[in-house]
Amino acid sequence: MAQTKRAPRDLYAERDALPANMVGEIVCGALHAHPRPARKHGEAAYALGSELYTPFKRGGNGPGGWRFIAEHELHLGPHIVVPDISGWKVERFPSDETTAYTVVPPDWLCEVLSPSTKRLDRFEKLPIYAEFGVKHCWYVDPNEKTLEVFILSDGAYKIGPAFADSDPVAAVPFEVHTFSLGLLWDDVAP
């Protein structure tokens, strides 16, 4: 839930004082605190990350060349956001950073939508991702069993393909690999 706007140092202190079961993000000068994701949310994020890891990180049956981090804090200007999965092309991956957060915007990210964060993810964080040049955003909704693809073009997102239920997914920037969306909600046997 958004709180009133305060000085950045106060927001950082409040965020750092949150209980361990809460995620704190600073978006547009306001602290947003919400509980850790529910099981369905976590399972969908893990399944998607697992599906992309072998072909795009390790290069098994795919091109490789990517680095992924789950639930990693990004500092994008004055904003602190925590997408469910962030991905960088290897040549842009900030391997020399030693902090618990990253300041280099990812090339791709995925937000798994929860009832408590859906509006924040869609209406406040998506424009921030565009402002900082995140080329591709995927929005997964485990309750609706959907995946929406957003592609940055001329500083704004265009809606790309959308998938539902157990549709085969082949979407930018990972279009060389096809998988069943049903894997994210156990609708497909491995």
Number of domains in the chain: 1
pLDDT tens per residue across span 54-98 = 999 988 788 999 999 999 999 999 999 999 999 999 999 988 888
Q: Is residue 2 part of a domain?
A: no
- The amino acid at 35: P
Per-residue confidence (pLDDT) for residue 154, from 0 to 100: 96
Q: What is the pLDDT of residue 116?
A: 87
Is residue 70 one of the residues assigned to a domain?
yes
Note whether 163 and 146 are within 8 A (CB): yes
114: domain CATH number is 3.90.1570.10
State the pLDDT at residue 173.
98
In a domain, 21, yes or no: no
**Mean pLDDT across the stretch 5-30?**
83
Of 86, 88, 84, the residue nearest 45 (C-alpha) = 84
pLDDT recorded at residue 58? 84
Q: Residue with structure tokens 């969908």?
A: 44
151 burial type by CB count under 10 A (0-12 exposed, 13-18 middle, 19+ buried): middle
Closest CA to 130 of 112, 114, 106: 106
pLDDT in tens, 106-122: 999 999 999 989 999 99
* 112 occurs within a structural domain: yes
Q: Examine residue 10 and state whether it is found in any structural domain, yes or no.
A: no
Q: What is the mean pLDDT of the chain?
A: 91
pLDDT at 138: 98
In a domain, residue 169? The reply is yes
d(CA 24, CA 11): 10
- pLDDT of 6 reads 56
21-60 pLDDT, tens digit each? 888 999 998 999 988 878 888 899 999 999 999 999 988 7
Count the Cβ atoms, other than its own, within 10 Å of residue 23.
Answer: 16
Instruction: State both tokens at 123.
Output: 């209406």
> Is pLDDT of 166 > 60?
yes
Of 81, 79, 73, nearest to 101 (Cα)? 73
Range of the domain at 87: 37-185
Cis omega (within 30 of 0) for bond into 115: no
Q: Is residue 9 part of a domain?
A: no
Quick one: which of 43, 45, 47 has its CA closest to 183? 47
Q: What local confidence, expressed as pLDDT, does residue 1 receive?
A: 45
- Flag whether 4 is in a domain: no
